[in-house]
Structure 1
Amino acid sequence: AATAADPAAGAETTTLSTAAAQEATGYWTAERRADALASEEAADAPAASTPSRLVEHPGLTYVGVLFYVADGRNRTCTASVVDTAEGDAIATAAHCLVDARTGDPTRLATFVPGTKDAQAPHGLWPLGARSVTASWTRTHATADDAGFARVHSLDGRRLEDVVSAARPVFDRPLLPAQGAAGALSVLGYPEAAPYSGHRLVACAGIPQRSAHHTVSLPCALGEGAGGAPIYTRGARVPVGGELRPELRSVVASPA
């Protein structure tokens, strides 16, 4: 997982029109959402040195699935609502927002918060402006694969007013310079077996330094969980094998 970077520094932004947003909303029918979640692409996740148990999460309204089209296929990532003054921002992975092959915004990108079994209990929120790190645009490095987007309002309502949000924390290292690292939790919608992408899954573990200047958790979520938020203390995230209610606080950018 990459540490959070200030989106105002070295970011590259694109904006989509209202007409494009309406097209996206019309495209993502329940059938197409289910099709996107039924990806048979297995994840090539590296084996974790200290495996952590993945558990199905009861769900958070402000974590959901980002649906989009790339390379002619319906695809998904995980995204989460972050607290901003405008109340319309989500955090996810850069590759979910911008097609790395073409540099163009991913097509028909729409966020469905709190989804379960391809349902949309809180509506469909098409993306407007998107911002990804300039370093990822140049190198497509995993360590820089983070981005933010704003969604269009729904019937005059702001996303954060409907589903709540978590507070983003920038420039905080996942591994402290001194002392032991604390447990973190990651929440995503993995599609690789035994998961189907239809349910939110949580995993807790101790962060560890990986290759290419990245920090990872021993949680092999894989395909569909790209962009998953990492929490230091979350509303009902797994701690010691249990689900325990604590304060919401985002500690890092998407994995």
Structure 2
Amino acid sequence: MTAVALASVLALTATACGDDGSDGKPSAVSSRDGKITIPDDLKQRLKEHGIDIDKWKHGAWKNWNRDDWLREANDFVNPIIKGLWDSDRMRDADDPDRGVDDSDISGDQGVTDPTPQPVQARAVTPPYHTSAATSGKLLFDAPGGTMVCSATVVTDPAHPGKSNLVWTAGHCVHAGKKGGWYRNLAFVPSYNDQGRSAAELEGASRSEIAPYGVWWADAAKTSQQWISKGGETGGDGASYDFAVIHVTPEQGSGGKSLEETVGGALPVNFDAPAVSQVRSITASGYPAAAPYDGQRLYQCQDKPSRLSIEQSDPTMYRIGCTMTGGASGGGWVETGADGKPALVSNTSIGPVRSGWLAGPRLGEVAKSVYESVSKQFAGR
């Protein structure tokens, strides 16, 4: 209980104010020489709720710096800050660059297929809710600033027809081996549903940009492989670069789940089919790096090939596609033998100059991540 309370306080203040209160407002938690200090009045308020931070682990928190604490905390902490994601902040979010140089891909198992020809991304016809209701944007704050990825509403076995689960890339929720969990994660389904240009969105209301609301992550999980190996660039950890988040509406949804609100959710296929068995994959996302501006939804459709990053890791799917950063985390969908669409991967990496995208093949590790988030909210 104390651990969660302290982590919540730190997560809130990481966004709310400067480390030293330099914004002119009193800082709830300040940091001097990288160490955490907590004002006496805040300690007293916590004590009134039965939480004595000084007694917890004999006050060991005094020797930790804030970034280490947030990285080492086992629980993902993401308190809702109402109104934080206003229309300007959503529109101006940048992409977390995951561009790789082809020469960085050095762990080939001898099974990597030739580089696919680029497939020009096509703009999805608005309103997006009509043809791509499960797609949306994932917004978050990272050390480098306000960032954006893409994400997909997926089914929840614990709540059939009433899912609040969203699928994205691991690097869209956690920085990997040199960082921790990102802050203020929020999902916006059917972002900019009418497909307006950046110029047309100037001065647009929040409801125009987010017609189905802003949904905050109250749980997130990625693979331990991504946390241990994931890097800012290159292919480290890419074969396990996936994540599942559970969301809750910022303003309330009248009791409706995310799936009920948007009108659908995609099942996830964890029995990753071999490339030879897949006729076509469609990848969706909001590319934000040039020549795109992150405001519109795009898709690429191509027959996948194989990409091997490390000999010890599973091969990845790779398709030709001109989408750029910002499309990361977007769902890859295949029509199965039953004729129904299912999510089979997500955008993880692509080359510096675009032209192709690669995503992990989903197997037992991905299934365990998915099921653990589902079970966390089963019965609620």
The CA deviation string for residues 101-159 of structure 1, in whole angstroms up to 9 with x for no partner, is: 65432111100000125710100000011110111111111111101010014333211
Q: Find the residue that maps to 2:321 and give its secondary structure.
A: coil
Report the 3-state secondary structure (helix = DSSP H, G, I; strand = E; otherwise coil) of the residue aligned with 1:171.
coil
The C-alpha deviation readout for 1:182-230, integer Å capped at 9, x for no partner, is: 1111001111222111111000111111131322111132210110100
**Corresponding residue number in structure 2 for 1:136:** 226
Corresponding residue for 2:86?
Answer: 29
Go from structure 1 to structure 2 and tell me whether the alpha carbon gap of 1:26 and 1:45 turns closer, same or farther (over 3 Å shift): farther
Q: Distance in 1 between matches of 2:296 and 2:218?
A: 26
Question: What does residue 202 of structure 1 align with?
Answer: 299
Q: 1:27, 1:121 → 2: CA distance?
A: 16
CA distance in 2, matches of 1:80, 1:74: 20
Distance (Å, rounded) in 1 between the aligned partners of 2:90 and 2:269:
31
Q: Distance in 2 between matches of 1:31 and 1:216?
A: 34
Measure how far apart 1:89 and its partner are: 0.2
Equivalent residue number for residue 288 of structure 2 = 191
CA contact (8 A) 1:97 1:130 kept: yes
Pair 1:126-2:216 in alignment: yes
- SS of the equivalent of 1:127 reads strand
Distance of aligned partners of 1:222 and 1:203 in 2 relative to their CA distance in 1, 3 Å threshold: same
CA contact (8 A) 2:281 2:301 kept: yes
Q: TM-score, normalised by structure 2?
A: 0.54
Give the structure with the larger helix fraction. Answer: 2
Verify: 1:249 aligned to 2:342, yes or no.
yes
Which of 68, 74, 83 is the matching residue for 2:146?
74
User: Which of 165, 170, 178 is residue 270 of structure 2 equivalent to?
Assistant: 170
In 2, Cα distance between equivalents of 1:165 and 1:80: 8
Provide TM-score, normalisation by structure 1.
0.79
Displacement of 1:252 in angstroms is: 2.6
- Tell me, yes or no, if the aligned pair for 2:218 and 2:248 is still in contact at 8 Å: yes
Classify the secondary structure of the residue corresponding to 1:217. Answer: strand
How big is each residue's C-alpha offset from its partner over 1:74-110, in whole Å with a ceiling of 9 and x where there is no partner?
Answer: 1000000001133110000011111326543211110
Aligned residues: CA RMSD: 2.7
Structure showing greater Rg:
2
Aligned residues: 225
- Partner of 2:189 in structure 1? 113
Matching residue of 1:220? 322
| Secondary structure at the counterpart of residue 245 of structure 2 | strand
Q: Structure 2: state its 5+ residue gaps.
A: 1-72, 103-113, 202-208, 231-236, 310-314, 348-358, 360-380
**Hey, what's the Cα distance between the residues in 1 that align with 2:274 and 2:330?**
15
CA contact (8 A) 1:13 1:131 kept: no
Higher relative contact order (CA 8 A, sep 6+): 1
Once residues 146 and 226 of structure 1 are traced to their aligned partners in structure 2, the CA distance between those partners, rounded to angstroms, is 10
Answer whether contact 1:82 1:90 (CA < 8 A) is retained: yes
2:41 maps to what in 1?
Answer: none
Match of 2:260 among 161, 164, 170: 161
- After superposition, the Cα gap between the structure-2 partners of 1:214 and 1:247, relative to the gap in structure 1 and judged at 3 Å, is closer
Map of 1:228-247 to 2, 5 A cutoff? 228-233=330-335, 247=340
Q: Distance in 1 between matches of 2:239 and 2:142?
A: 22
Matched, 1:91 2:167: yes
Q: Does 1:16 align with 2:16?
A: no
**Structure 1: which 5+ residue stretches go unaligned?**
1-11, 235-245
SS at match of 2:320: coil
